[in-house]
Amino acid sequence: MKRAFAYVAEFDSAAAIYHAAEQVRDAGYKKWDVHTPYPVHGMDHAMGLGKSWLSGVVLCGGLTGFCTALFLQFFTQVDLYPTVVQGKPTNLNTVPAFFPVTFELTILFSAFAVLFGLLAFVMLPRWNHPLFGSKKFARFSDDGFILVIEARDAKFQEADTKEFLLSTGASGVELVEEEF
Amino acid sequence: MSAIKSVDNLPNDGEKFDSSKVALVKGISLILGGGLTALFFILWLFLPGQMQQSMAYSWLFAVVFFMTLSIGGIFWTLLHHATNSGWGVVVRRLMETLGSLIPLYFILALPLLLPGPRDALWEWFEARQEMIQAGKDHSSPEHLEAAKAEWGQSVAAAEKKLAAVKAKKEKESATATATAGEKYNLEQQVIAAEGKLEVAKASEPTAEELASEGQLHANVGLYKKRGYLNEVFWYARYVGYFLVLGGIIYFLRSWSIKQDQTGDFRYFRWMRRGSCGFLPLFAASWTFVVVDWLMALDYTWFSTMWGVYLFAGSALNSMAILIAALTWLRSRGFLKDVVSMEHYHIMGKLMFSFVVFWAYIAFSQFFLIWYANITEETKFYLTRNTAYWNAYAIGFLVIGHFFLPFAGMLLRRVKTVPYVLTGIALWNLCMHVLDIYWIIIPERGPSLTQGKEMVIPGAIYFDILAFVAVGGLTVFLFLSRLAKASLYPCQDPRLEESLNLVN
């Protein structure tokens, strides 16, 4: 069984896809994306993308690392088994000695949060993607400027969406199907 | 993204800075700067001894703080060219103007070269005189006489020893029982004794040797550093620093202005190539300025991170003043068409990064010294942990200079709202004033009272007076120099890129 997955529309230039993206944004589509061979400045604005929440995940990761490091060091070396090194006190004044580890663990946990948060946000890893079946789509890694509107978008209509994409200046539109 | 901005829509000769719009600020800063500087120097001449000495610290504090702004201006200009940046073309003239204030600090720091304030600030001048005196005492005619007599005795002893060994050899060789081995041993003893006599004869004491020995015994630390810490080299360095720093910014600024007038892209290439060569010179000059002026406040103390520490603060400091100055100029109607929120965003990010970098260096310096716990190194922090300086450092430097601005600038939105960012920039500036204050002033009490007092009562008023005086002159000169050329480099080949900056 097959069903429509998305429309893949190809554009000839960065400028063309930039203006098409503005029109798609204004038409109210939500589940769509743009694929270009190189980064296009201002595309996030043209697509109407808001701020990513990844930074929030990173903040949580960093704070977790900060607290973990301080807790582990304080608990083991001040509370559980007071360890005197270089005649330094075992109380709150020891805290500078714990900073390097705290600093490193904050960074480590932030980096983990970036990696795993990003993977979760983009739903990776996965085995395959229906778009990989499209010859037109594959050209985005060469010289194609590709705009994809997915069928799960509430505004998606097979006939209307194709006409709309052509009206934004697409040089070709292809319907990609997925098996289920 | 708004429509593409084109340089064709901008006036060909850039934007003139109309001083009459800021005449009030300019007038006030001139009156404050000139008047208070005069007042400060009059008081300096007539106040009693200890207060006079303590005012040298006030003046050093004020001059160094405002000089860090100018140093940061030079650094950002250099970095902009060396990295071939496009983003900041529209604000580069502000950086150049800030950097070009450097001759002002050459003049303002001149009084510190006079023996009075100089010896009050840098104890090594007096210690060096004492050391030289100790050397002279040690090499006086009586001492030389005694040393020569001692030397004569050692030569006589060596001669006596040689004669004895020779006599023994004669005696042994006359008897037939001596083996070849014994004869060889005696031969060797004679050679050794002859050698010792040669050495003894050659080491005739001279006045110079005795003087060096006396200096070494009087102050071993200063004696070993005599090649660097001496008056002639110190004065030569003072001139050298300003020649290098002033030369760098003079060339960069004048090429930039010539490019405005002629539109010749050759200057663009000169600035770019020149900056790559100027950067190491700049780094070395500023490092040794702070070694000579600040680290030498206690000549027995040293830190290998000192130059970077002061550099990090300067870069942060001057990015903060650039943001504040930009907002103020825009509120008066300047630079409206060329500067956008995107420029603020980048400047905010740079300021944020240097808050982190400053903290990283400041903490590393503290951490390594605290942990290693070596007497010569810890004295800097011991002084600054005494009395209220401990609470001062934790409150202002740890929390105020790092944690608060760090947390405050994490959000992206904060860096794109000019007034909020300017507020944070002003906060950072205040914190950096306190940082420079903390570097210089804790040295004052112990230094002037031979360790009896931490604080000189009433001296803080002169710190404030000096700060306002130098600040007034700085603002006045900055505004005057700003009017000399267009507010942005109007013929720069990357101007259009900068106008259409997107983060």
Which of A40, A41, A52 is the best substitution to test chain B (most B C-beta atoms within 10 A)?
A: A41
Q: Tell me whether residues B1 and A96 touch, CB distance under 8 A.
A: no
Question: Same structural domain for residues A59 and A114?
Answer: yes
> What is the per-residue pLDDT across B123-144, written as a single tens digit (0 to 9) for each?
999 999 999 999 999 888 888 8
Q: Note whether A67 and A116 are same-domain residues.
A: yes
Domain boundary among the residues A85, A104, A121 is at: A121
Phi, psi dihedrals of residue B24, rounded to the nearest 5°: -65, -50
- Tell me which chain A residues have a C-beta less than 8 angstroms from the C-beta of B363: 96, 99
- Summarised one tens digit per residue, pLDDT across range B67-114 is 999 999 999 999 999 999 999 999 999 999 999 999 999 999 999 999
- Measured CA to CA, the distance from residue B254 to residue A155 in angstroms comes to 60
Distance, CA of B488 to CA of B93 (rounded, Å)? 5
CA distance to partner chain B, nearest, from residue A90 (Å): 14
Structure tokens belonging to residue B280? 């190491």
Question: Nearest CA to CA, how far is A6 from chain B (Å)?
Answer: 28
Residues of chain B with pLDDT > 70: what percent?
Answer: 99
Radius of gyration, CA atoms only, chain B: 31
Q: Using alpha carbons only, what angle is made at residue B126 by residues B134 and B237, rounded to the nearest 5 degrees?
A: 115
Q: Note whether B373 contacts A51, CB cutoff 8 Å.
A: no
Q: How far apart are CA B71 and CA B69, in angstroms?
A: 5
Interface of A with B (CB under 8 A): 41-42, 45-46, 51, 55, 59, 86-88, 96-97, 99-100
Q: Looking at the predicted structure, is the pLDDT value of residue B47 above 90?
A: no
pLDDT for B253 equals 95
Contact between B355 and B402 under an 8 Å Cβ cutoff? The reply is yes
pLDDT at residue B2 tops 60? no
For chain B, what is the mean pLDDT?
Answer: 91
Q: Are residues A115 and A127 in the same domain?
A: no
Strand order in the sheet with A145-150: A32-35, A145-150, A2-11, A172-179
Phi and psi (nearest 5°) for B309? -60, -50
Query: Which residues of chain B neighbour A87 with C-beta distances below 8 Å?
Result: 373
Over residues B270-316, the pLDDT tens digits come to: 999 999 999 999 999 999 999 999 999 999 999 999 999 999 999 99
> Phi/psi at A72 (nearest 5 deg)?
-60, -45
A95 to chain B: closest CA residue: B367
**CA B357/CA B434 separation, integer angstroms:** 17
Q: What whole-number distance in Å separates Cα of residue B156 and Cα of residue B153?
A: 5
Residue B221 has pLDDT above 50, yes or no: yes
**Same domain assignment for residues A61 and A84:** yes
Are A70 and A152 in a shared domain? no
Residues of chain A contacting residue B366, judged by C-beta atoms under 8 Å apart: 96
Residues A27 and A111 in one domain: no
- Say whether pLDDT at B484 is over 80: yes
- Rounded distance between C-alpha atoms, residue A23 and residue A3, angstroms: 26
Residue pair A163/A7 in contact (Cβ under 8 Å)? The answer is no
Tell if the CB–CB gap between B371 and A87 is shorter than 8 Å.
Answer: no
Q: How many residues does chain B have?
A: 503
Distance from CA of A80 to the nearest CA of B (A): 22
Residue among B1, B370, B373 minimizing CB distance to A96: B370
pLDDT in tens, B468-483: 999 999 999 999 999 9
**CB-CB under 8 Å, A45 with B373:** no
Which residue, among B430, B436, B324, has the nearest Cα to B67 in the 3D structure? Answer: B436
ipTM of model: 0.85
Half-sphere exposure of A175 (CA within 13 A, CB side): 13
Backbone phi, psi, residue B226, to 5°: -65, -25
Which residues of chain A lie closer than 8 angstroms to B412, CB-CB? 51, 55
Alpha carbon separation from B87 to A41, A157, B352, B489 (Å, rounded): 14, 43, 17, 13
Dist. CA A63–CA A109, nearest whole Å: 8
User: Crossing angle for the helix pair B89-99 and B459-482, nearest 10 degrees?
Assistant: 130
The pLDDT tens digits for B356-365 are: 999 999 999 9
Rounded-to-10 torsion of CA B463, B393, B419, B409: 160
Residue A140, token pair as written in the block: 């985005």
Contact A96 B367 (CB under 8 A): yes
Report CB contact under 8 Å: B367, A86.
no
What is the rounded distance in angstroms from the CA atom of residue B478 to the CA atom of residue B472?
10
User: What are the residue ranges in chain A where pLDDT is below 70?
Assistant: none
Confidence class for position B3, pLDDT limits 50, 70, 90: low
H, E, C per residue of B159-204: HHHHHHHHHHHHHHHHCCCCCHHHHHHHHHHHHHHHHHHHHHHHCC
The whole domain housing A11 covers 2-50+123-179
pLDDT for res B6: 84
Are B363 and A99 an interchain contact pair (Cβ–Cβ within 8 Å)?
yes
The overall average pLDDT reported for chain A is 92
- Residue A13 to residue B399: CA distance in whole angstroms: 51
Q: What is the dihedral angle through the alpha carbons of A161, A167, A169, A175, rounded to the nearest 10 degrees?
A: 30
Q: Which residues in chain A touch residue B367, judged by CB atoms under 8 angstroms apart?
A: 96, 99-100
- More confident position, B326 or B16: B326
Same domain, A139 and A84: no
Q: Which residues contact B125 (CB under 8 A, 6 or more apart)?
A: B115, B118, B119, B231
A169 within 8 A of A11, measured Cβ to Cβ: yes
Query: What pLDDT shows up at residue A52?
Result: 86
Do A62 and A109 sit in the same domain of this protein? yes
Query: Are A139 and A127 within one domain?
Result: yes
CA distance B71 to chain A (A): 30
Residue A100 with chain B: CB contacts under 8 Å? 367
The two tokens of residue B348 are: 């905010």
Task: Judge: B367–A99 Cβ closer than 8 Å, yes or no.
Answer: yes
The C-alpha atoms of residue A4 and residue A149 are separated, in whole angstroms, by 11
Report which of B148, B80, B145 is spatially closest to residue B343, judged by C-alpha positions. B80
Asked if A100 and A15 sit in the same domain, the reply is no
CB contact under 8 Å between B1 and A45, yes or no, is yes
pLDDT band at B1 (very low <50, low <70, confident <90, very high): very low
Say how many CA atoms lie within 13 Å of B190 toward its Cβ: 12
Q: Is B196 exposed, middle or buried (0-12, 13-18, 19+ CB in 10 A)?
A: middle
**H-helix or E-strand containing B234?**
helix B231-262
Read off the amino acid at residue B472.
G
User: Considering Cα of B443, then B446, then B449, then B455, what sign does the dihedral take?
Assistant: positive
Which of chain B's residues have a Cβ under 8 Å away from the Cβ of A46? Answer: 1
The verdict on a CB contact (< 8 Å) between A100 and B412 is no
What are the residues whose beta carbons fall under 8 Å from the beta carbon of A172, sequence distance 6 or more? A9, A10, A136
Last residue of a domain, one of A102, A121, A140: A121
Closest CA to B120 of B66, B59, B64: B59
Q: Do A39 and A64 have their domain in common? A: no
Q: Do B373 and A86 touch (CB under 8 A)?
A: yes
**Nearest chain B CA: its distance from A104 CA (Å):** 12
B1–A86 CB contact, under 8 Å: no
- Measure B87 CA to nearest chain A CA, in Å: 14
CA angle B487–B490–B492, rounded 5-degree value: 125
- Alpha carbon of B356: minimum distance to chain A alpha carbons (Å): 12
Say yes or no for a CB contact (<8 Å) between B371 and A97.
Answer: yes
Query: Which residues does chain A have within 8 Å of residue B408's beta carbon, measured at their own beta carbons?
Result: none
Q: Where are the alpha helices (DSSP H) in B265-411?
A: 266-293, 306-331, 341-372, 375-383, 389-392, 404-408
Max CA separation in chain A (angstroms): 79
Question: How many structural domains is chain A composed of?
Answer: 2
Contact A87 B1 (CB under 8 A): no
- Determine the average pLDDT of the residues in B239-250: 96
